[in-house]
Structure 1
Amino acid sequence: MLSYVVKRLLVTLAVVAVISVVAFSLVHLAGDPAVAMAGENASQQDVDSIRKVYGFDRPLTEQYVTWVGRVLHGDFGRSYYLRTPVQPVLAEYAPVTVRLGLMALAFTLLLSIPLGVLAALRPNTLIDRISLWLAVAGQALPSFVFAMLLIFVFAVTLRWLPVSGGSTWLHFVLPAVALGYNAAPAIMRLTRSGMIETLQSDHVRTARAYGLSRWRVVLRHALRHAIIPVVSLAAVQLGYMLGGSIVIETVFSLKGLGYLAWQSIQRSDIEVVQAILLVVAVVYALLTLLADLLNAVLDPRIRIS
């Protein structure tokens, strides 16, 4: 197990190194950051002054090494627009995105796993067709359109839930449903296919032959093996939710990292954009590592191989 953990950590470190290069390069590939920060009506003298102050006049490799060195010491730079260090800004906006992502993932798992299990137990029946319809609708319906429908039904018509802001947990219900519903179809289909395959395996037949109850066989023996690929997919989906919530946060006026990224891009706030790209990508890589380790615990064959 230790060798498996070390290998996965080395792979994750390599991925993080590549991510840092990409996060640094994307901002510079979009154009001259000094020109973007100075604005359209800025003089050449202003542009040159910004280029010198922020070190954009140095070679890119030197800028990258300096930036990585600062990041390793917890320094993400200073926001050009807000005139404050980036770290407090991220600390202010990140909890909203984390809370939204966790609630969205919880909704996704609570919806998709039971439906996937029921569809596998009753293939080609009404519950299986309903699950298939929900999966197709979830993939075909854009998240912002579904968000608008939720707002119209539950906030405008029924007045059950608030439509904007994030002061209470009720403000996160509609955004979590809108964000999580789009991820549910993949987990639902994977759970269904995994359960159908596992229910036909030898160890499940043996458990049935010993006279164990049906639900004990399903939950303890079949679902435990069928859930292994779902763990990896759930971690990937959580990373997607944390990094791709910009539309949902904008629709529901939630001040999270997605909303901050959208504002920072409009303001050409280079330091904040780089920090968000790096933090979200690193969290995504760490979630993938965590999923691999959990799979190794659930299935010893993974770490042995």
Structure 2
Amino acid sequence: MLSFLLRRLVVALGVAVAVSALSFALIFLTGDPAIAIAGSGGSAGDAEAIRLAYGFDRPIVVQYADWIGSALTGDFGQSIYFNIPVSEIIGNRIPVTLTLGMLAFLAALAIALPLGVAAAMRPNGFIDRFALVLAVSGQAVPSFWLGLMAIVVFGVWYGLVPISGTETWQGYILPVLVLAYSAIPELMRITRSGMIEVLNTDYIRSAQAKGLPTGRVILVHALRNAVLPLISLSAVQLGILLSGSIVIESVFAVNGLGRLAWESLLRSDLPVVQAIILILSLFYVVLTTAADLLNAWLDPRLRGGAA
């Protein structure tokens, strides 16, 4: 297990370095950042002054080394628009995004897991068909449209919940449910397929033949093996929910990282954009690595087969 852990940590470190380099380079791939900061009304002299002030005239390797060195200490530079440290802005916004993403993930898992198990118990039954309809609609309906409809119905027509902001816990209800709805199909489908595969194995038939209660067979024997691919998918889905909430945060006026990223792009606030891309990308790296380690702990066979 120790060698597996070390291998996974080395891979994660390599991916993190690659992600940081891409996060830094993406800003330059769109063009000259000095011209973007100067804006359409800026002159060539303004762009040159900005280029010298921010060090854009230096080799990109030198710029990256300085940037990543400061980022490792929590210093992402100064916001061009707000004129305050980027770390301070992100520190104020990231708790909202983490809360929204985690609540949406837990809500999606609470619905998808039991529904996927129930659908696998009776394939082509009523619950299975209902799960199929839910999965198809969850992938077909755009999140922004669903969010707008939720605002109109539950916020405007009936006035049950706030339609914007997160000043109170009620403000999280609609964005959490709308965001969770997009994650339910994949989680439910992987649970259903995994359970169907496990329920058709010999050891499950043996457990049933011994007269063990159905609940024990499902929860103790079947679900443990069926849940392994769900763990990997859950890590990916949680990363998607955390980084892909820009639409939901904009629709519901939630002041999280997603909305900040959109606002910073419109304002050409490049230091903020770079920091958000790096942080959200590292979320993916940490979550997928943790999922690999948890899968290896649950299934020792994965340790020997790890590359």
TM-score by length of 1: 0.98
1:287 is aligned to: 287
**Deviation at residue 45 of structure 1 after TM alignment:** 2.0
2:104 is aligned to: 104
2:126 is aligned to: 126
- Distance across 2 between alignment mates of 1:129 and 1:216: 25
2:20 is aligned to: 20
Amino acid in the other structure paired with 1:188: M
- Distance across 2 between alignment mates of 1:99 and 1:78: 26
Matched, 1:66 2:66: yes
Amino acid in the other structure paired with 1:258: G
Q: Show structure 1 runs of 5+ residues with no match.
A: none
1:270 is aligned to: 270
Matched, 1:184 2:184: yes
2:203 is aligned to: 203
Amino acid in the other structure paired with 2:64: Y
**Deviation at residue 44 of structure 1 after TM alignment:** 2.1
Amino acid in the other structure paired with 2:262: W
Amino acid in the other structure paired with 1:117: V
Where 1:78 maps in the other structure, the secondary structure is coil
Matched, 1:214 2:203: no
- Distance across 2 between alignment mates of 1:276 and 1:32: 20
Amino acid in the other structure paired with 2:260: L
- Distance across 1 between alignment mates of 2:33 and 2:8: 36
**Deviation at residue 298 of structure 1 after TM alignment:** 1.4
2:257 is aligned to: 257
Deviates more, 1:125-134 or 1:59-68: 59-68
The alignment-based identity, stated in percent, is 51
**Deviation at residue 159 of structure 1 after TM alignment:** 1.7
Matched, 1:171 2:171: yes
**Deviation at residue 151 of structure 1 after TM alignment:** 1.5
TM-score by length of 2: 0.97
Where 2:137 maps in the other structure, the secondary structure is helix
2:149 is aligned to: 149
1:136 is aligned to: 136
Where 2:233 maps in the other structure, the secondary structure is helix
**Deviation at residue 41 of structure 1 after TM alignment:** 1.4
1:35 is aligned to: 35
Where 1:84 maps in the other structure, the secondary structure is coil
**Deviation at residue 157 of structure 1 after TM alignment:** 2.0
2:300 is aligned to: 300
1:57 is aligned to: 57
Deviates more, 1:101-110 or 1:70-79: 70-79
- Distance across 2 between alignment mates of 1:298 and 1:176: 30
Q: Show structure 2 runs of 5+ residues with no match.
A: none
**Deviation at residue 60 of structure 1 after TM alignment:** 1.0
**Deviation at residue 293 of structure 1 after TM alignment:** 0.9
- Distance across 2 between alignment mates of 1:223 and 1:169: 33
Where 1:183 maps in the other structure, the secondary structure is helix
